């Protein structure tokens, strides 16, 4: 049994005040609406309904926190870029999301989920640049790989890998087929282990004036 299976829901936050205390270490799952964030978290934790998934894009509108052990958390961020959401709601998410990214001290890495059939749209590029500028490790999951044959999966993988900055990595993933889960676990373990609370809260952020 891995520590991921013991994940449990902590809380949902619609603003920063509602987030759990900013101690310990957390990794956020980001990506366009419908990219498969909630499904990936369920596959990782071997649970079927921990994170709520939906055929309706924009389902996850809150920041959802899941606890592992030893102050480790996984965060399901609201999906981005769903056109049918009213502008006022979009603005709220965007503000909320950017405030989370800017201020969260316990954030040690970002998983970016991208549909393998439509890699690196504008939002994805923004996240890659942002993580690079902030020296935050980023790992891309090319999701729904079951929709492509193996050769096509590899082509997409190589194409995305080619353009990535040094802080970023990429893998193929399918929640449905349980493909790539161990690779994802390894990345998360490395990030969590490399950032155990050692009293220093500066790290890569210090030069950026993050509050
Ligand atoms: N074929 C296939 N479908 C998937 C996979 N992962 C997710 N889906 C489907 O894609 C849709 C969206 O999945 P979610 O996990 O809810 O996506 P999300 O990124 O959390 O979406 P939001 O919460 O709206 O941002 C659902 O219908 C899932 O069943 C996968 O690996 N393969
Ligand atoms: Mg979701």
Residue 71 lies in a domain: yes
Domain extent at residue 124: 3-201
From 12, 31, 34, give the residue whose CB has the most ligand 1 atoms within 8 Å, as the site to mutate: 34
pLDDT exceeds cutoff 80 at 107: yes
Average pLDDT over residues 73-86: 76
Residue nearest to atom 1 of ligand 1 (CA): 144
Average pLDDT over residues 185-211: 66
Residue 206 lies in a domain: no
Residue 55 lies in a domain: yes
Residues in CB range of 58: below 8 A, 6 or more apart: 33, 34, 79, 82, 84, 85
Residue 175 lies in a domain: yes
Helix or strand run (H / E) with residue 183: helix 181-194
Provide the CATH number for the domain around residue 55. Answer: 3.40.50.300
Residue 24 lies in a domain: yes
Residue 122 lies in a domain: yes
User: From the centroid of its chain, how far is CA 108?
Assistant: 11
CA distance 192 to 174: 23
- For residue range 115-174, what is the model confidence (pLDDT) as tens digits? 999 989 988 998 999 899 989 999 999 999 999 999 999 999 999 999 999 999 999 999
Q: Which atom of ligand 1 is nearest to the CA of 58?
A: 24
pLDDT exceeds cutoff 80 at 183: yes
Tally of domains in the chain: 1
Residue nearest to atom 32 of ligand 1 (CA): 144
Residue 110 lies in a domain: yes
Average pLDDT over residues 78-104: 73
Residue 42 lies in a domain: yes
């Amino acid at each position: 049994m891995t520590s991921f299976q013991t994940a449990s829901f902590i809380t949902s936050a619609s603003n920063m005040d509602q987030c759990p205390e900013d101690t310990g270490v957390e990794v956020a799952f980001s990506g366009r609406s419908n990219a498969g964030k909630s499904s990936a978290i369920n596959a990782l934790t071997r649970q079927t309904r921990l994170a709520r998934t939906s055929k309706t894009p924009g389902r996850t509108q809150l920041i959802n926190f899941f606890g592992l052990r030893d102050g480790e958390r996984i965060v399901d961020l609201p999906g981005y870029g769903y056109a049918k959401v009213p502008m006022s709601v979009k603005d709220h998410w965007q503000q909320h999301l950017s405030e989370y990214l800017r201020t969260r001290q316990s954030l040690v890495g970002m998983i970016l989920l991208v549909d393998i059939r439509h890699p690196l749209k504008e939002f994805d590029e923004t996240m890659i640049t942002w993580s690079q500028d902030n020296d935050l490790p980023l790992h891309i999951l090319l999701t729904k790989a079951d929709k492509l044959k193996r050769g096509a999966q590899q082509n997409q993988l190589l194409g995305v890998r080619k353009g990535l900055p040094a802080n970023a990595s990429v893998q193929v993933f399918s929640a449905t087929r349980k493909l790539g889960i161990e690779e994802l676990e390894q990345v998360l373990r490395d990030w969590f282990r490399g950032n155990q609370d050692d009293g220093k809260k500066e790290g890569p952020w210090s030069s950026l004036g993050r509050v």
